[in-house]
Amino acid sequence: MPGLTAQQLEQFDREGYLVVEDVLDPKADIQPVLDEYNSVLDGIVDGLIAEGLLRDRYEHLPFPERLTQVSMESGRNFPAHFDISLPQKGVKYDSPMHHGPAVFHLLTNPKLLDVVESLVGPEIYSNPVQHIRTKLPKKAIGESFRNHGLLEKIDWHQDNGVILAEADESEILTVWLALLDATLENGCMQVIPKSHQQGIADHCPSDSSGLHIPGKVLPLERATPLPMRAGSILLMTQRTVHSSLDNVTEDSVRISLDLRYQRTGVPTGRPSFPGFVARSRSRPEQALADPTVWKKLWLDTRETLARAEDPLYNRWDGSAPACA
């Protein structure tokens, strides 16, 4: 698809965000990813049946409904098994993660990169701070996973606030991609327009909310929810304040990807994780095209982190006045 129009670019600069509908095709572009995640779930199901925690494979169900049923019956959740990243502490040699070819091809989808190029330029680097979020109905979330950021709502924050200060000037673009319809009921995103104009706010660490900006210092009356169709994307600057709503449904799953892109050659804010060149107009041969190479980058990173002390991932220690 073509890049952004002048009007869209102006809105992004003014408001700090932009919704672009129907960038990807739910069948041609997104279904292969859901099928790949269903294959990951196959392995999880095999283990649960062997443990006697599951009586059926539920293969007749589509992936979202199958994941919900498996989670409810087994009493377990598996966010890390689908995630395209690693935890920020306690990485082990076998810490679960997923870096399959369908996900890689989505990250490098030309239609997606055409939009990204409008804001980042022709030399595009895939920033490694990326996640899949499978926001389940609350009945399918076990007690030990309450407030887990990959399963439930995310509190107010800026993406620049959850990485290192080295990337403050890197102009990292957030691309939030709806793999399934994101509604007001199942937990769509919400933003505070023009909040990117205020610089980086103090973020407070919390066991229950993760890194977040306390609501008491935010103009929450300006919060704008953004329901989106599957295949649509939300673009945000690295300083746009945003969060998600709760999934208050009984049976709907909100599945989304947080992707980030930037100009090649500038800091990512998470140097311990591997990024890659997604597109290069000047030197096309530098762009990574092999998903097995991408997977190996992460496997090598996991091994390195498993035998080392946890690196520093952000700048906050809870001493900011806003955290009092």
pTM recorded for the entire structure: 0.96
- Could you tell me how far CA 143 lies from the centroid of its own chain? 23
- Could you tell me how far CA 192 lies from the centroid of its own chain? 19
pLDDT tens digits in sequence order for the chain, 324 residues long: 578 999 999 999 999 999 999 999 999 999 999 999 999 999 999 999 999 999 999 999 999 999 999 999 999 999 999 999 999 999 999 999 999 999 999 999 999 999 999 999 999 999 999 999 999 999 999 988 988 989 999 999 999 999 999 999 999 999 999 999 999 999 999 999 999 998 999 999 987 778 999 999 999 999 999 999 999 999 999 999 999 999 999 999 999 999 999 999 999 999 999 999 999 999 999 999 999 999 999 999 999 999 999 999 999 999 999 998
Six token digits for residue 162: 């959850």
Asked if 137 and 250 count as a contact pair (C-beta separation under 8 A), the reply is yes
Q: Is 314 helix (H, G, I), strand (E, B) or coil?
A: coil
What are the angstrom distances between the C-alpha of 71 and each of 53, 63, 262, 285?
10, 12, 36, 43
Contacts of 146 (CB under 8 A, 6+ apart): 152
CA atoms within 13 A on the CB side of 252: 15
CATH superfamily assigned to domain 14-26+82-308+316-323: q2cbj1_9rhob like domain (2.60.120.620)
Interatomic CA distance for residues 160 and 170, integer angstroms: 10
Start-to-end CA span in the chain (Å): 48
Q: Is 261 helix (H, G, I), strand (E, B) or coil?
A: strand
Six token digits for residue 207: 């066991």
Asked if 135 and 179 count as a contact pair (C-beta separation under 8 A), the reply is no
Six token digits for residue 117: 């190029």
Whether the CA torsion 299, 130, 102, 148 is positive or negative: it is positive
